[in-house]
Amino acid sequence: MADRRVAVTGAGIVSPIGNTLEDFQRSLCDARPGIRRLPGEIAQRTGVQVAATVEWNPMSVLKENEAAGVDRATQFALGAASQALAASGLDTGASPERIGVYWGTGLGGANTQEAAYRQVYGADEWRLRPLTVVMAMSNAAGSNVAVRHKLRGPFANFATACSSSAMALGEAMRTIQAGRADAMVAGGSEALLTPVMLLAWQALRTLAPADATDPAASCKPFDKRRGGLVLGEGAAAFVLEDESRARARRAPILALLSGYGNSCDALHMSRPDRDGQVRAMREALAESSVSPGDIGYINAHGTATTVGDLVEAEAINAVFGELAAHIPASSTKSLHGHLLGGAGALEFAAALLPILRGWLPPTAWLEEPDPACMLRHVPRRAERVNPPRAVMSNSFAFGGSNVVLVAERA
Amino acid sequence: MPRVPSASIMRPMDTLARIKALASQEFTLDAQALDPAAPLDKLGIDSLSFIEFMFKVEEEFGVSVSDEDLKGIKTLSDLERHVAAALAACGRA
């Protein structure tokens, strides 16, 4: 356990089920879904029928001329980071060199890239706007957060697919623990619901078809009827601080981020590996000050793919043994879809719900649990619970990257 | 696709007024209060923003300003001179 503990003092959310932490958590409690049918032509031509989209007004954080100069993924990032900093009450101007930004994204400015390709190859207009590079680059979102708030400390951008933003949080924790920063803004964003990316994901044959009776119920993690993941978009940001400094300034402390596991399967680009996931969970537990029995909720990666859910359930059972039958675990992707590079950060916010509000977020639509996925599920509806001492959040990515976070009650 | 000047340039209008109007729209500035002789950075227009702005000016007037000429543009008046010269060169002044 590190000498320097890390407090979570602010959170901001832009998601398919709410654009503040409060709205997001309320939607989880009410099992209010953000998965919707895609417009007819896009659905027809890509074959992708549903996605979890954000209802977003960029002018909530940007002037009109500014919004046109940043990608949608950056707009989400600015929205989430501004909320997190405002909630934390952190004085960013006091020592900006001691506050950094670590951000995670899978593809960066996907909408900008696609617009550029469409213009050149589709419209045969071989002239691109000058901001194309700085809008599309993968570090654009994090860099814009740093510029907006004048945060001059350590900066990094993580692009490890679905573990990107969880890695940003874990590495930010270690940066504070190492004394290299007093506070960090960490999180991630993704906005890639573009025709080409929808087609690319469809080609992988991992996307769920629309539920025949309720499109919102198309993502069914751990259910026998599960048919794959549903793509989402959005962002989540957190302010992490040296706990002693946070307490000295009487900051609101949502939780302590105390464990971070990071492993690579080094086996396959897309097939998950139980042992890699086990190592990440064990590392996160070992780094935190909690024992496996203190974990009172696991936010599973739970993408609703046949193999992914099965392997994760096996990994959880391998780590927790007999305790696994008693530790509530759920996949909130059933409601907000898969935010890819933004997933780890958003689901960390979901994982804090039991600590902050005493509610276990559900795996919505879980009516026929797959007996091969032996877990203590939270089916369909949120459950009331005494706030547990600690929670865990799993993020397992294509490329074999596994990241696990452990948070403790403050 | 060939670049076609927008219809508006076919009308005899004051070039500087049109540049000021574009700048006003792009940077949310008061067109009436814009001092064309003021250095661009004093107007809050940084180098990257100016490159993006030039892209729109070129589209609006259907002209092209070379990289070399771009380096010499420090004010909106400088820009107006280059645009006017480019229009004259193609007989549209």
User: Measured between beta carbons, which residues in chain A are less than 8 angstroms from residue B54?
Assistant: 130
Name the phi and psi angles at A90, rounded to 5.
-70, 135
Q: Which ipTM value was assigned to this complex?
A: 0.72
Of A63, A130, A134, the CB nearest to B28: A63
User: Measured between beta carbons, which residues in chain B are less than 8 angstroms from residue A118?
Assistant: none
pTM: 0.93
A124 with B1: Cβ contact below 8 A: yes
- The answer, yes or no, to whether residue A326 has pLDDT greater than 60, is yes
Average pLDDT estimate for A294-319:
98
User: Between the CA atoms of A289, A293, A294 and A297, what dihedral angle is there, to the nearest 10 degrees?
Assistant: 120
A82-116 b/e (C-beta count within 10 Å ≥ 16 → b)? bbbbebbebebeeeeebbbbbbbbbbbbbbbbbbb
Q: Is any Cβ of chain A less than 8 angstroms from the Cβ of B64?
A: no
Q: How far is A12 from chain B (nearest CA, A)?
A: 28
pLDDT of residue B13: 62
Compute the mean pLDDT over every residue in chain A, rounded to the nearest whole number: 97
Q: Is any Cβ of chain A less than 8 angstroms from the Cβ of B69?
A: no
Compute the mean pLDDT over every residue in chain B, rounded to the nearest whole number: 85
A123 with B1: Cβ contact below 8 A: yes
Strands A6-14 and A255-264, by their bridges, are: antiparallel
Closest-CA residue in chain B for A65? Answer: B26
Strands A183-190 and A99-104, by their bridges, are: parallel
Lowest mean pLDDT among A132-146, A157-171, A378-392, B12-26: B12-26
User: In which order are the strands placed within the sheet that holds A376-377?
Assistant: A155-158, A99-104, A183-190, A234-242, A6-14, A255-264, A401-408, A390-396, A295-299, A328-330, A376-377
Per-domain residue ranges of chain B: 12-89
Query: Which residues sit opposite A52 in a β-bridge?
Result: A35, A232
- The answer, yes or no, to whether residue A408 has pLDDT greater than 50, is yes
Distance CA A261, CA A242 (A): 20
- The answer, yes or no, to whether residue A169 has pLDDT greater than 80, is yes
Average pLDDT estimate for A303-318:
98
pLDDT digits over A239-273, tens only?
Answer: 999 999 999 999 999 999 999 999 999 999 999 99
Question: Which domains can be identified in chain A, with CATH numbers?
Answer: 6-248 (3.40.47.10), 260-408 (3.40.47.10)
Q: Is A383 left (phi over 0), alpha (psi -120 to 50) or beta?
A: beta
A337: pLDDT confidence band, cut at 50, 70 and 90? Answer: very high
User: Measured between beta carbons, which residues in chain A are less than 8 angstroms from residue B48?
Assistant: 130-131, 134
CB neighbour list of residue A231: distance below 8 Å, 6 or more residues apart: A48, A51, A52, A192, A193, A198, A201, A207, A337, A338, A340
pLDDT of residue A298: 98
Report residue A175 CA to chain centroid gap: 20
Give one DSSP letter per residue of A15-43, joined into a string: BTTBSSHHHHHHHHHHT---EEEPPHHHH
For residue B13, what is the DSSP state?
A: -
Which ranges of A154-239 would DSSP assign to H, the alpha helix? Answer: 164-177, 195-203
Q: How far is B45 from chain A (nearest CA, A)?
A: 13
Coil vs helix vs strand at A326? coil
Q: Is any Cβ of chain A less than 8 angstroms from the Cβ of B4?
A: no
pLDDT digits over A353-393, tens only?
Answer: 999 999 999 999 999 999 999 999 999 999 999 999 999 99
For residue A207, what is the DSSP state?
A: B
Expressed in percent and rounded to 5, the helix, strand and coil fractions of chain B are 60, 0, 40
Selected residues 38-57 of chain B with any CB under 8 Å from a CB in chain A = 48, 51-52, 54-55
User: Measured between beta carbons, which residues in chain B are less than 8 angstroms from residue A132?
Assistant: none
A124 with B25: Cβ contact below 8 A: no
Closest-CA residue in chain B for A134? Answer: B48
Which tops the pLDDT comparison, B67 or B7? B67
Closest-CA residue in chain A for B4? Answer: A125
User: Between the CA atoms of A246, A250, A254 and A255, what dihedral angle is there, to the nearest 10 degrees?
Assistant: 50
pLDDT digits over A282-292, tens only?
Answer: 999 999 989 99
Q: Which CATH number fits domain B12-89: 3.30.450.20, 3.50.30.30, 1.10.1200.10, 3.40.50.300?
A: 1.10.1200.10
Q: How far is A123 from chain B (nearest CA, A)?
A: 8
Give one DSSP letter per residue of A180-200, joined into a string: S-SEEEEEEEE----HHHHHH
- The answer, yes or no, to whether residue B93 has pLDDT greater than 90, is no
Coil vs helix vs strand at A68? coil
Q: How far is CA A397 from CA A24, A239, A308, A355, B60, in A?
A: 23, 24, 10, 26, 46
A64: pLDDT confidence band, cut at 50, 70 and 90? Answer: confident
pLDDT of residue A331: 98
For residue A290, what is the DSSP state?
A: -
Report residue A22 CA to chain centroid gap: 16
B7: pLDDT confidence band, cut at 50, 70 and 90? Answer: very low
Contacting B with CB below 8 Å, chain A residues are 63-65, 69, 123-125, 127, 129-131, 134
pLDDT of residue A103: 98
Nearest Cα residue to A116 out of A136, A141, A134: A136
As a whole-number percent, the residues of chain A with pLDDT over 90 amount to: 98
Q: Establish, for the pair of chains A and B, how many residue pairs have beta carbons separated by less than 8 Å.
A: 21
Query: Which residues sit opposite A50 in a β-bridge?
Result: A37
pLDDT of residue A289: 82
pLDDT of residue A2: 62
User: Measured between beta carbons, which residues in chain B are less than 8 angstroms from residue A137?
Assistant: none
User: Measured between beta carbons, which residues in chain B are less than 8 angstroms from residue A125?
Assistant: 1
pLDDT of residue B83: 95
As a whole-number percent, the residues of chain B with pLDDT over 90 amount to: 62
CB neighbour list of residue A76: distance below 8 Å, 6 or more residues apart: A14, A54, A56, A141, A189, A190, A191, A233, A234, A235, A342
Average pLDDT estimate for A154-162:
98
Q: Are the C-beta atoms of residues A35 and A54 closer than 8 Å to each other? A: no
**H or E element that contains A240:** strand A234-242
As a whole-number percent, the residues of chain A with pLDDT over 70 amount to: 100
Query: Which residues sit opposite A369 in a β-bridge?
Result: A223
Average pLDDT estimate for B16-36:
92
Of B25, B27, B52, the CB nearest to A129: B52
Strands A234-242 and A6-14, by their bridges, are: antiparallel
User: Measured between beta carbons, which residues in chain B are less than 8 angstroms from residue A130?
Assistant: 48, 51-52, 54-55
A65 with B51: Cβ contact below 8 A: no
Of A65, A124, A129, the CB nearest to B27: A65
